[in-house]
Amino acid sequence: DIVMTQSPDSLAVSLGERATINCKSSQSVLYSSNNENYLAWYQQKPGQPPKLLIYWASTRESGVPDRFSGSGSGTDFTLTISSLQAEDVAVYYCQQHYSTPVNFGQGTKLEIK
C-alpha cells in the first residue's frame, strides 16, 4: 500500500498571504507510460463532502480558482494557495490515484491567522 503523509497537520495564514501544504507518498506515484503523477488534492469544508481541486499533481479541476496550484513529482508534492481568502478555510487532503487501495493523507486544517 502507498502511505500518504501530509505536513503540517494544521496551518494558520493571514488573509492574502500564501499557504503551502505538503504531501509525501511512501513510493513514487509517477506513471511512466504518460509521465503523469497520480496525486490529487481535495478541500473539505465542515458538513460537506470533499471537493476535488487538483489531479495529476498540477491539473486544476474545472471551476477551481487559479489561486490554487499543485506541484511536485515522484513522492513529494505541494498544494499552494497563492492569496488566502476567507472561503479557503477548510481541511485539505492529498490522495494517490496510482494504485489500489486508494489512500488519503491525514489532512491539513487551514485557518485564518
Partner 1 sequence: QVQLQQWGAGLLKPSETLSLSCAVYGGSFSGYYWSWIRQPPGKGLEWIGEINHSGNINYNPSLKSRVTISINTSKNQFSLKLSSVTAADTAIYYCARGVRGAAAGRFDYWGQGTLVTVSS
Please select the residue that binds partner 1; options are 52, 60, 71, 74, rule is CB under 8 A.
52
- The answer to whether residue 55 forms part of the interface with partner 1 (CB under 8 A) is yes
What are the distances in angstroms from CA 93 to CA 34, 35, 71, 78, 90? 24, 23, 15, 11, 10
Q: Please, what is the minimum distance in Å from the beta carbon of residue 86 to partner 1?
A: 22
Alpha-carbon gap, residue 11 to 36, rounded angstroms: 28
Beta strands 90-96 and 108-112 are: antiparallel
Pairing of strands 10-13, 59-60: unpaired
76 forms part of the interface with partner 1 (CB under 8 A): no
We find the least distance from the C-beta atom of residue 18 to partner 1, in angstroms, to be: 25
Query: Where does this chain bind partner 1 (CB under 8 A)?
Result: 1, 31, 34, 36, 38, 40, 42, 49-52, 55-56, 61, 93, 95-107
